[in-house]
């Protein structure tokens, strides 16, 4: 599968921009610039959403770890209490 590297994409967009400005197609250039801005905004919003999902995922992980520690401590405490009762 063919994939564009970021550098190749920059060159590609630069060629389009120069071609539109050279041919005096200012309205098409404005449309192109608007499209490029929209792409950047969508990319930023996507990155923020992924970051928010990752934060929530990490919070659940911390919560699960805390619950597991509390349960294991409680189980050890119950085991110790049962052992002390048996010894009496």
- Domain range spanning residue 17? 6-87
Report if residue 39 sits inside a domain: yes
Report if residue 45 sits inside a domain: yes
Look at the block and give the residue holding tokens 């996507």. Answer: 46
Average pLDDT per 10 consecutive residues for the chain, totaling 88 residues: 64 79 76 87 94 93 92 88 75
pLDDT at 30: 81
pLDDT at 1: 46
pLDDT at 3: 59
- Total residue length of the chain: 88
User: Are 32 and 20 contacting, i.e. CB atoms less than 8 angstroms apart?
Assistant: yes
Report if residue 1 sits inside a domain: no
Distance CA 80, CA 72 (A): 12
- When divided into structural domains, the chain yields a total of 1
Two structure tokens written together for 3: 């994939």
Prediction pTM value: 0.52
Rg of the Cα atoms in the chain? 29
Distance CA 41, CA 84 (A): 65
């Amino acid at each position: 599968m063919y994939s564009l590297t970021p550098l190749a994409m920059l060159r590609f967009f630069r060629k389009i921009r120069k071609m539109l400005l050279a041919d005096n197609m200012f309205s098409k250039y404005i449309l192109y610039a608007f499209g490029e801005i929209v792409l950047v905004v969508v990319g930023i919003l996507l990155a923020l959403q992924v970051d928010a999902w990752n934060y929530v995922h990490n919070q659940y992980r911390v919560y699960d770890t805390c619950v597991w520690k509390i349960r294991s401590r409680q189980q050890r405490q119950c085991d110790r209490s049962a052992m002390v009762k048996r010894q009496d």
